[in-house]
A and B are shown apart, each in its own frame.
Chain A
């Protein structure tokens, strides 16, 4: 069986098994979920090892007819960009399950429902990155909203129902705009060589479109992805959703689901509509820069620790979008690596924040203080995660942020220069909560907080390890990403600007 299909089937099988276990046996359900996600992660790593980075064609390809009369196939395959994101998703899943061992309790429904939803979601997360048929992609793109919706609304805290609805409505609206564009593409493909959803064939269609058509179809896709990513001004659902969801769900939401937006921009916006992408680049860069700066300011002003992380993500997604639309190979590689790194640094932040919150019973930053003395390991973990988020050299995010800025500067120096201020602001929005929560006098009520237990240490260790290791040695990932991103640009005729000699030549 195809490696990707196997990876997608495993969580589904796991969820069926869990469905049989009686819901009272919570521990067994958790163990089954963890083992399933671990197996998926192992098969993900094996696939990663087998992936041939020199080959820019799609790999692990499988295709079967699904709805032949519409030209719809079940078609999967990965290039260097997709495999990196799949690897990130499958690595995060067991960590999330282990880290949030108890977060499924106290929800509206039994923990069984929680874990079934998580596993179904994992299948869709892999599928959405692996799909090489636009229709299949759309099915995963839309269907994965439903488990997330129930995860937020059923197991979150605070205004969880409202946040879940806001998330779903925003996403559905974007999804429907995209559906209109997909129908447009489908009809155009029918008029030019037969109905198809195969992305390789769709990427040749742009030559048949008028520029108006191409712009409109591009906007349908881009708005959907910009809501998902999220790009200012379509970001307002994210802080609510992230604050209401359980930490584990938030990790999957920000770490994986939002990446579908940025991944989609590369896979669909750039590949299918190269001319429209160029047309809209200035606008998108402006939005990205606003996201970077605005997200950072919101983060500086945040009082709630989960909201703070959500705002930092808006800023980071600004960097990713900017890197993508700079249309240089460094920008593209940097953006992809950024997606991977952001997954792990956000995971670290959210998971540690989740532990802090569950121990203290509050998510307000001001309620913490002096954690460095009381719970040194937890404090250090948060510190490292924070440093990764502000892209400290030596940690993984630095490499990607640097690449994005360099890649952008070669073509759009103004945007890159303004975006660089985002780094300065990042230092503020990370160091302020670090100082407030970890240092200073111990806030009354924090004296008896317990430090991380063994399970939590095991969960956070691989995240920190990846952050540090990739900071020093990003080549394993970049070796896969670089050929792929160069290929993406080359196929649609984007070229890197020729490096100019320094001024005064």
Chain B
């Protein structure tokens, strides 16, 4: 028996490797650098490795390869677009994370303990959040370009584990934050188990774990269809859990609410891109030929997700929970792009993911600014009159809400139009109708927040808008500008996406 040395295309894998390298440097800084210099050096290393990774990614944008890592990774235009979106969102998220006000002083200290008090007095800061972020980003970069199920699973775990930890790092209401982390972890572990189970079934069906091998078996049609169906179903459970589609959404509101807001923003934006990237690839490349078997179920899930997210969001009193339900509704809209199974569906999904990710990040960035003496204020009632106190902040938040609602001249409208037209073009009229109706429902609660901010009198309870740090300001400025520009003149980005958006098979 001979062994072949594995052949790796380092240039294609470079972005992932750079981010991982940055994470390792970060771990070393945690271990050896003096506490005082950690924050600045960590921030520098993190941003630098993300920027270098983005540059390395841009260099290979025209390459297409199915054998970047012995058939486990396939890089193509769509992979490039998804990875680039993840990196851009990650850089903007790190700017938010750098505002350390939201993070606990010492994550290991038991809430309410003497140790916690000491750590607060000593004004300690968690800096381990930076390498954790980089590890998660590396997993996210791998997720949408994996082309076998084992790599996909590794990437899934690699992006999830750091996120579980990061969700528990909140400075205030720590018990709630830790509860959300535990909840996320347990449910995530369940979904991973389902996912693994699905891999086993698909292996049983096709005797292969690669996307191309499974696809060949589906085309050949010789295997046992029950195994195929079970495999697709269980793998879908694992993936749909990550994007928060109903009925696998239960973690979303609690985790969004409990996690530090900067982490929530990162999670909501970047995880969604990565997970939908993986879903798009596996459905478009592998499962497309079996679409008559899974399509009805996925259409149903998409419709339920849209409607449920929109309806339940109406009754939310907490801005982070409201945004969580809104993200569930958007997951439903995005699923229609998956179901479309067409080039225009892929383009629309990628545009939507980018536009939505940017707007979500911006919205959470604004949430970090509304505080009182005990930290962030997420109770919507206490946001009333915000437009009077801080017109600019309120206007920017209103812009993001209008983008979520899909009002013309914001990026959300172009996204919604392109994804619904792709869905309808491939014959899914029910998705179009459900999408439009749930958009109408969703508009209601977005507008309610605008009413609250602009048309209600302010309450004097110490709620105020803090002056954002330079980095947070940068994030808010960039996200709002992108949201507006993509609404007014999206043609360059749409053309750019159209040039690249293909999956290599």
Chain A residues at the B interface, C-beta cutoff of 8 Å: 65-70, 108-109, 138-140, 142-143, 145-146, 150, 153-154, 160-161, 164-165, 168-169, 172-173, 176-177, 179-180, 183-184, 186-187, 190
Contact = CB atoms under 8 A, between A and B. Distances in A.
B249 interface: no
A169 B443 contact: yes
A169 B444 contact: yes
Interface stretch (B34-42, B222-230, B432-440): B432-440
B474 interface: no
Contact of A146 (B387, B402, B417, B451): B402
Nearest to A187: B425
Interface centre among B421, B424, B490 (most CB of A within 10 A): B421
A146 B420 CA distance: 23
Contacts of B491: 65-69
Interface string B469-484: 0000000000000000
B447 A168 contact: yes
A145 B418 CA distance: 22
Contacts of B391: 109
A146 B407 contact: yes
29 contacts: A66-B491, A67-B494, A69-B491, A70-B417, A70-B421, A70-B494, A109-B387, A138-B408, A139-B408, A139-B409, A143-B408, A150-B454, A154-B454, A161-B455, A161-B456, A168-B447, A169-B443, A172-B440, A172-B443, A172-B447, A173-B443, A176-B436, A176-B439, A180-B432, A183-B417, A183-B420, A183-B421, A183-B424, A187-B425
B498 interface: yes
A190 B343 CA distance: 14
Interface in B6-65: none
A165 B443 CA distance: 11
Given A108-B455, A187-B425, 12 more contacts: A70-B418, A140-B408, A142-B408, A143-B408, A154-B455, A165-B451, A169-B444, A169-B447, A176-B439, A180-B436, A183-B421, A187-B424
B388 interface: yes
Interface residues of B, number: 37
Contacts of A183: 417, 420-421, 424, 432
B495 interface: yes
A165 B490 CA distance: 29
Interface in B353-368: none
Contacts of A161: 451, 455-456
Contacts of A153: 451, 454-455
B497 to A, nearest CB: 9
Interface in B388-443: 388, 391, 402, 405, 407-409, 413-414, 416-418, 420-421, 424-425, 432-433, 436-437, 439-440, 443
Nearest to A220: B436
Closest 4 interchain pairs by CB?
Answer: A161-B455, A139-B408, A180-B436, A142-B408
Contacts of A65: 491
The binding surface of chain A is classed by DSSP as helix
A142 B494 contact: no
A154 B432 CA distance: 34
A67 B455 CA distance: 36
Given A108-B455, A186-B421, A187-B425, A180 B494 contact: no
Nearest to B457: A108
B494 A179 contact: no
A66 B408 CA distance: 14
A164 B455 contact: yes
Contacts of B433: 180
Contacts of B455: 108, 153-154, 160-161, 164
Nearest to A177: B436
A143 B498 contact: no
B494 A108 contact: no
Nearest to A72: B491
Nearest to B391: A109
Nearest to A178: B436
Contacts of B409: 139, 143
A164 B433 CA distance: 26
A153 B350 CA distance: 36
Nearest to A174: B440
A186 B424 CA distance: 10
A420 B413 CA distance: 44
A69 B498 contact: yes
Nearest to B497: A69
Contacts of A138: 408
Interface string B488-500: 0111001100100
A154 B407 CA distance: 20
Contacts of A154: 454-455
Nearest to A172: B443
B447 A176 contact: no
Contacts of B490: 67
Contacts of B405: 172
B457 to A, nearest CB: 9
Listed residue (A65, A143, A187) with the most chain B CB atoms within 10 angstroms of its CB: A187
A70 B425 CA distance: 13
A142 B451 CA distance: 18
Nearest to A141: B408
A165 B447 contact: yes
A127 to B, nearest CB: 11
Nearest to B433: A180
Contacts of A142: 407-408, 413
Contacts of A150: 454
Contacts of A70: 417-418, 421, 494
A487 to B, nearest CB: 29
A274 B55 CA distance: 55
Contacts of A190: 425
B440 A187 contact: no
B362 to A, nearest CB: 18
Contacts of A165: 447-448, 451
A142 B409 CA distance: 9
A138 B421 CA distance: 15
A69 B224 CA distance: 42
Interface string B370-391: 0000000000000000011001
Contacts of A108: 387-388, 454-455
A269 B302 CA distance: 31
A139 B447 CA distance: 18
A180 B491 CA distance: 22
Contacts of A169: 443-444, 447
Nearest to B416: A179
A121 B494 CA distance: 28
A358 B495 CA distance: 54
Nearest to A184: B424
A69 B495 contact: yes
A154 B453 CA distance: 11
A187 B454 contact: no
Contacts of A68: 491, 495
Contacts of A109: 387, 391
A243 to B, nearest CB: 16
Chain B CB within 10 Å — which of A69, A142, A145 has the most?
A: A69
A196 B391 CA distance: 40
Contacts of B407: 142-143, 145-146, 172
A240 to B, nearest CB: 14
A68 to B, nearest CB: 6
A156 B57 CA distance: 53
Nearest to B444: A169
B333 to A, nearest CB: 13
Contacts of B448: 165
